Amino acid sequence: MRSRATPATDRRTAPARLSLTRRFGLTSLIGMTVVGGALVATTSQVLHTQAVREGVATAEALTRLATAEVPGDAFTVGMLEPAQDADLDALLGGLDERLVGLRLWTADGAVIYDSADVDGAPSAFPDVERLDAVRLRGEPAPRVRTHIDGLAGDAGGPLARSIEVLDVYVPVEHAGQVVGAAEVMLDHGPTAARRTQAIGTLAAVAALGLLLLWLVLFRSVHSASERLQRSAMENARLALLDALTGLPNRRMLLDRLDRAVASAGRTPGAGAGIGILLLDVDRFKDINDSLGHDRGDELLVQVATRLMEAFRGRDLVARLGGDEFAVLLPGVTSVADAETLAHRARGVFTEPFVLGGMSVHVETSIGVAVLPDHADDARSLMRRADVAMYTAKQHRLGVAVYDAADDDSSPARLVLQAELHRALARTGELTMHYQPKIDLAGGRTVGLEALMRWRHPTRGEVEPSVFIPLAEQSGLIDELTRFALRTVVAQLAAWAPEQRLPVAVNLSAHTLASEDVVDTITRLLAQHGVDPSWLEAEITETAVVADPGRVVPVLRRLSAAGVRVAIDDFGIGSTSFAQLRDLPVDVLKIDRLFIEDLGDEATAARSRTVIKAMVDLAHSFGMQVVAEGVEDAATAACLRALDVDQAQGFWFSPAVAARDVGAGSGRVVLQP
Ligand code: C2E
Ligand code: CA
Ligand code: CA
């Protein structure tokens, strides 16, 4: 699916990473160039100094040789004999091939010999600065300069060549005194050329080495940055994808929906609506319970795959959690269009699913809502689709489009229904509390009634009188009953034997209509190793009366399985005595209305008579009698006098959490 391929975050972070690596590459390259340059420059300087030092040493040696031939007073006199001049010419001729020329200066700057001068009348000007330095310090003074070397009398002419020379003024001493200087000119060209070559080689090697080093560094930084980037991307991806199916999760769906709504808001009237399909796999819990969680997961993965194949391109298939999926349809043209697509989604379930080699038929309920037809913001669009989905589920429609007329009557109710459905999937929202039943003769707790509690995350405690009827209308009651049974049986198994009391669970008429409740109970008991006699089933009298043909056989099976059966809220229905006698019932629970009447002087006498009749009748059929809603000591005493076996009510204890059972509850009945 196209829209899954690149989560938004990928695109946003990519340029940032590039520029980071690039910045590193650039700064490190500049740094290395500077280092390389400095290296070459220093080396060049060192080589130069060394070459000059060598040259100076040569110049000193040559000076020693040349001045050995010259008498010391020639410098004071300021001139050389022609024979001496000729001798020097001859000596210098074969001395050192590097020697370009030699001059002898007197201390005051007169030239007494110049090798370049053939006719013996030398005339030249000294480098006064260096001559002075030599005279004063007695140390040689070198300088590299360009020298025009030509044939005699042709200096600067076409045959002249310009060469680089190392020109050194070397002090000439006589009797411990500096009497003049020898200016030795050595060809510096070859030395300079060697130096340039050495520097060139060094520069090349350094450049190559540094480049290689840089490449290695750059590569490791680049790959490290890529690795970091990849793991950041992976994390971002995981936060937006469902781990089981790989589909976008609720967060990503909402994000996409928000964006679609925002862009629809920017281009209103473009004929582009936004559709949402909410899918809920019917009876997924059954599949999970009967085939196991692995098979359940397998089913979800297969559903995801099929949905993805059915919706490609712009549409976004997401898993919201549990067995709920959603398809975001950006750009639907009409409600009818969205409905067609909903049927396409439903078509995905026509073929059976193969789970562990077994072919399983699964159905789905789909709610459809379209913006702007049904809602004008993302949240309410989702909620409307949810409401539509429950309409589809409740009336077994397969697909239901959100209908404001339906919803108008009680939108809150449908929302609550949706939330109850969700509560079933979450842990902690729904719990079972236990109200003690007190033996009126002995004053001890002899049993418990399990009552469901729903702590809604935002609404707080929701009354069972609100959510139980709601669940009955929507068919959710079966799941609630299973939850109650699971929790109670597990709790019975968890309690230590000496702490354990029989627990009654309320079974609604709807649940009793489907016979498998007996199988569910016996399986649960067997699973937890709990004896059936610890469990009691409470069924309201009205439920029995409404459909005895279906309910009575279920009660018989329960009874046969060893589970005690109680008729709840007895007295307000119209069970005939004959009917009651034939029922496989162990307990009769007198409705709270009669008990309340006991406290009212006007009705107390009549109520006592009715209760007494019920007690006698029940006892004659071998049933026990329980009075509900006992709120004060007087009522408790009165019921005891009327031979009622057990009582339940706020006077003794309200329903409490499992861990509080037996802790301080069970007020002792006062003996009259
Ligand atoms: P019920 O089966 O008749 O349960 C007795 C109700 O009376 C409980 O209300 C209990 O808290 C309340 N009660 C107990 N003692 C007194 C008293 O002294 N005075 C008064 N005024 N009330 C007392 P609760 O828990 O709100 O449940 C209401 C109804 O919801 C229950 O009536 C039952 O029909 C249904 N219900 C509760 N839990 C379940 C369940 O797990 N499954 C099914 N199917 N229905 C349940
Ligand atoms: Ca009850
Ligand atoms: Ca009751």
pLDDT digits 0-9 by tens, 148-175: 765 444 444 556 678 889 999 999 988 8
**Fold matches, 18-239 and 432-660:** no
CA nearest to 656, candidates 435, 325, 485: 435
Closest ligand 1 atom to Cα of 464 = 30
Would you place residue 277 in the very low, low, confident or very high pLDDT band (cuts 50, 70, 90)?
very high
* Interval 512-522: pLDDT, tens: 877 689 999 99
Q: Is-contact 639 612, C-beta < 8 A?
A: no
C-alpha dihedral sign at 537, 538, 544, 550:
negative
> Residue 15: what pLDDT?
45
pLDDT at 22: 80
pLDDT on residue 153: 44
Q: Would you list the domain boundaries of the chain?
A: 18-239, 250-407, 432-660
Mean pLDDT of 395-422: 77
Does residue 308 sit in helix, strand or coil? helix
Distance CA 263, CA 378 (A): 12
Q: Choose the weakest-confidence range: 11-15, 163-167, 228-232.
A: 11-15
286 Cβ closer than 6 Å to some ligand 1 atom: no
How far does residue 565's CA lie from ligand 3's centre (Å)?
Answer: 13
Q: What is the 3-state secondary structure (H, E, C) of 317-354?
A: EEEEECCEEEEEEEEECCHHHHHHHHHHHHHCCCCCEE
How does strand 399-401 pair with strand 364-371?
Answer: parallel
How many CA atoms does the CB half-sphere of 32 hold within 13 Å?
Answer: 20
C-beta 599 within 6 A of ligand 1: no
> Using CA positions, which residue lies closest to atom 19 of ligand 1?
629
Kindly report which listed range (19-23, 87-91, 419-423) carries the lowest average pLDDT score.
Answer: 19-23
pLDDT at 4: 38
Distance 578 CA to ligand 2 centre (A): 23
Angle between helices 477-494 and 284-291 (to 10 degrees): 40
47 lines ligand 1 (CB under 6 A): no
C-alpha distances (whole Å) from 316 to each of 256, 277, 330, 370, 553 are: 8, 10, 8, 15, 49
Whether 571 lines ligand 1, by a CB cut-off of 6 Å, is no
For the CA of 477, the closest atom of ligand 1 is 44
The ligand placed nearest to the CA atom of residue 630 is 1
Mean pLDDT score of the chain: 85
Taking residues 71-80, report their average pLDDT: 83
CATH superfamily of the 18-239 domain: PAS domain (3.30.450.20)
What pLDDT does 600 receive? Answer: 82
What is the separation of C-alpha 525 from the centre of its chain, rounded to a whole number of angstroms?
Answer: 42
Secondary-structure class of domain 432-660 per CATH: alpha beta
- Which atom of ligand 1 is least distant from the CA of 471? 44
Ligand 1: which residue has its CA nearest to atom 37? 451
Tell whether ligand 1 has an atom less than 6 A from the beta carbon of residue 577.
no
What would the two tokens of residue 493 be?
């198994």
Of the pLDDT bands very low, low, confident and very high (cuts 50, 70, 90), residue 448 is very high
Inter-residue contact 168 to 141 (CB < 8 Å): yes
pLDDT band at 382 (very low <50, low <70, confident <90, very high): very high
| C-alpha 464 – ligand 2 centre gap (Å) | 11
- In the chain, pLDDT over 90 holds for what percent of residues? 42
CATH of domain 250-407: 3.30.70.270
Retrieve residue 557's tokens.
């099976």
Amino acid, res. 37: G
Task: Using the mean position of ligand 2's atoms as its centre, give its distance from the Cα of residue 84 in Å.
Answer: 144
Which atom, in ligand 1's list, is nearest to the CA of 472? 44
Residue 240 main-chain phi, psi, to 5 deg: -110, -5
Q: What's the one-letter identity of residue 346? A: R
- What per-residue confidence (pLDDT) applies to 80? 83
Residue (of 619, 483, 526, 509) closest to 569 by Cα position:
509
The alpha carbon of residue 20 and the mean position of all alpha carbons in its chain are separated, in whole angstroms, by 23
E-strand stretches of 531-672:
535-540, 564-570, 587-590, 624-627, 646-647, 656-657
> What tens digit of pLDDT does each residue of 108-132 get?
888 888 888 766 566 778 888 999 9
Dist CA 565 CA 574 (whole Å): 18
Taking the CA of 465 as reference, the closest ligand is 1
Q: How many separate helices (H) and strands (E) can be counted in the chain?
A: 23, 22
Tell me the H-state helices in 475-534. Answer: 477-494, 509-513, 516-528
Query: Looking at 246-405, which runs of residues are DSSP E strands?
Result: 273-281, 316-321, 324-332, 353-355, 358-360, 364-371, 399-401
Mean pLDDT of 218-229: 84
- Mutational test site, ligand 1, from 420, 437, 451, max ligand atoms within 8 Å of CB: 451
Residues 6+ apart with CB under 8 A from 526: none
pTM score, whole prediction: 0.47
Mean pLDDT over residues 454-477, rounded? 85
Query: Is 390 a residue whose pLDDT tops 60?
Result: yes
Task: Supply the pLDDT for residue 16.
Answer: 47
